[in-house]
Structure 1
Amino acid sequence: MGDLVLKIYPSFEGDFQLSEAGLARPVSGAMIHNYTLSGSRPLQGSQIEIVNLNKTMVDVLVNISYLNGEKVSLMLHPDAPLALLPGETSKWQVVRTYTVLGVEHIWFGIDHLLFVLALIMITKGFKKIVKTITAFTLAHSITLSLAVLGYANLPGPPVEAVIALSIVFLASEMLKLHLGKPSLTAQKPWLVAFSFGLLHGFGFAGALTEVGLPQSEIPLALAFFNIGVELGQIVFVIAVSAFLYLLAYKKNWPEVIKKVPAYAIGTIAAFWTIERFIGFWS
């Protein structure tokens, strides 16, 4: 929540001893905490609670690595801040946890949503929108998979800066469209969506890598994180398309009003670009 760090922390029942392992660090709108836990009995079957979680509006992804190599992943929510710890994570737990994580990542990733919004507003026709969003999905799925599996890598700060710059580009394309000038995105939206989608995939991968994956189920977790991202994206596209369809009934909008979305998106993205480049070089 901006610079505010919520006062939430894990608590284990019984005689388990918990100690922080390094400083907490922010990443993609989340805060990562690492702890070391020790005890005289097995952890499986005991209870974990995130204290004060019920007073917040955030979720907590818990990743536990046992000394014998087993991994456990589960998601806790404000209305369910307690859970019993199982043994090794089941496939269903991985599917559920990482699908939810993917949906939340796209819904709270405002830069990704602004990019998709600009694409929708430039692209005319339902079939063309479907092809464009499919190209974006295919592209970021490729780079997300390659990055998480270790076959490709780009440093996070420059990637985030160029993602913001890609939104500035689309905002300028929106203005060209209003002025009746030739626009690459209007003519070949799928090409622009695919090209920048490759970059956005590295942004998704950075967040997922920081959060962590269950080592025994990496392909499954990766697949359903991607599915979660797509589900969240589909809901957003349907909602925006329906809203724009309703606005289309009023065809005599003043020209000044028609330009507001482009300037608003461009201004926000320009601010992000400057902020991220300054952060990268500082």
Structure 2
Amino acid sequence: MPRTVAAHALAPSLFQVRETGSGRAEVLWRTPVVGVPDAALRPVFPPDCRPLGQPSVRRAEAALVVRWEIDCGPPGLVGKTLAAEGIADSRASVLMLVTLRDGRSVRAVLTAERPSFLVPERESRIEVARSYSLLGIEHILTGPDHLLFVLGLLLLIAEWRLLLWTLTSFTLGHSVTLSLAALGFVHVPPGPVEVGIAASIVVLGVELARDPAASPSRLQRRPWGMAATFGLL
């Protein structure tokens, strides 16, 4: 696997491994081509996993897609550690999806704090939900535009339960978008996304400028809907 692939700090890469039997597995590595200069991000397998043949490399929209096959021996992937090298330098996240030979799937999110993953026999749904939620939170906290939107929500919503529900909706919306983008299911050019983010801040600003004595608007009564919608950007 070449060591020249860079990933955007806020765009997760996809590390997908699917067992095909007899110790063999197909590997898909998909990473954004826009990234941090000189930050090499690549998947890492245990020493007993050897590549078979040459990898297939192609450009797919704004991502680089690499496919190849490995042989990890008859025991398979369960109990083995998969990792992403260079994840701290690139400040990226990697979505991992491992499909075992019996059809079961295990998922994880690799980060600078957790750059490796021990493939379990069975996955924990709580751990999966936690990983994807943390991915959305990380994306929000590392983007000034998102922080500005969250600040606006803090100023708009006085009731703490409603605020908590609204922030959760925003985070979940972000997690869904990041996951779908990394898996290659959706691709939106950066231009419209930036316009949408700017529009979300404008809409929030208009709400904050309303007369406090006026009747609450629909957005003020149901801010979680606005947050979830703009969280998809």
TM-score (norm 1): 0.48
1:9 is aligned to: 42
Contact 1:24 1:34 in 2 (8 A): no
In structure 2, how many angstroms separate the alpha carbons of the residues matched to 1:195 and 1:140?
9
Aligned mates of 1:52, 1:144 — CA distance in 2: 24
Q: Which has the higher contact order (CA 8 A, sep 6+)?
A: 1
Q: Does 1:199 align with 2:229?
A: yes
Q: Aligned partners of 1:199, 1:90: CA distance in 2, in Å? A: 28
The alpha carbon displacement at 1:72 in A equals 1.9
Corresponding residue for residue 82 of structure 1:
116
- Which secondary structure does the structure 2 equivalent of 1:44 belong to? coil
Instruction: Return the index of the structure with the highest Cα Rg.
Output: 1
C-alpha separation in 1, matches of 2:145 and 2:215: 21
What amino acid maps onto 2:106 in structure 1? V
Q: Within 5 Å, which residues of 2 pair with 1:123-134?
A: 123=156, 128-130=158-160, 133=163
Change (3 A) 1:195 1:159: farther
Q: CA deviation at 1:44?
A: 1.7
* Separation of aligned partners in 1, 2:144 and 2:215: 23
Question: Where does residue 228 of structure 1 map in the other structure?
Answer: none
Task: Kindly provide the amino acid, as one letter, of the partner of residue 44 in structure 2.
Answer: S
Answer yes or no: is the 8 Å Cα contact 1:132–1:190 preserved in 2: no
The offset of 1:165, in angstroms, is 0.6
Amino acid at match of 1:11: V
For residue 49 of structure 1, give the secondary structure of its aligned residue in structure 2.
Answer: strand
Question: Which ranges of structure 2 fall in alignment gaps of 5 or more residues?
Answer: 1-8, 10-33, 180-185
The Cα shift of 1:91 comes to: 2.9
Distance 2:80 2:94 in 1: 18
Describe the shift of the 1:119–1:103 C-alpha distance in structure 2 as closer, same or farther (beyond 3 A).
closer
Q: Determine the structure 1 residue equivalent to 2:199.
A: 165
- Judged with a 3 Å threshold, the aligned counterparts in structure 2 of structure 1 residues 120 and 71 are, in CA distance, closer, same or farther, namely same
Task: State how far apart, in whole Å, the 1-side matches of 2:107 and 2:159 are.
Answer: 36
- The aligned runs of 1:223-242 (5 Å cut-off) are none
Return the letter of the residue paired with 1:4.
V
Deviation at 1:60, TM superposition (A): 2.9
AA matched with 1:199:
T
The CA deviation string for residues 29-76 of structure 1, in whole angstroms up to 9 with x for no partner, is xx7866444314312222323223354544433222335422122233
8 Å CA contact 1:136, 1:190 repeated in 2 = no
Distance 1:200 1:97 in 2: 21
Work out whether residues 60 and 75 of structure 1, in 8 Å CA contact, stay in contact via their aligned partners in 2. Answer: yes
**Whole-Å Cα distance in 2 between the matches of residues 137 and 71 of structure 1?**
30
Cα displacement string for residues 235-254 of structure 1 (whole angstroms, at most 9, x for unaligned residues):
xxxxxxxxxxxxxxxxxxxx
Q: Report the residue type matching 1:170 in the other structure.
A: L
Aligned partner of 1:101 in structure 2 is 135
Q: CA RMSD in A?
A: 4.4
For 1:184 and 1:37, how far apart are their aligned partners in 2?
65
Looking at structure 2, the residues matched to 17 and 68 of structure 1 have their Cα atoms a distance apart, in angstroms, of 22
Cα distance in 1 for partners of 2:44, 2:229 equals: 39
> Where is the helix percentage greater, Structure 1 or Structure 2?
1
Structure 1's unaligned 5+ residue stretches are: 149-153, 204-282
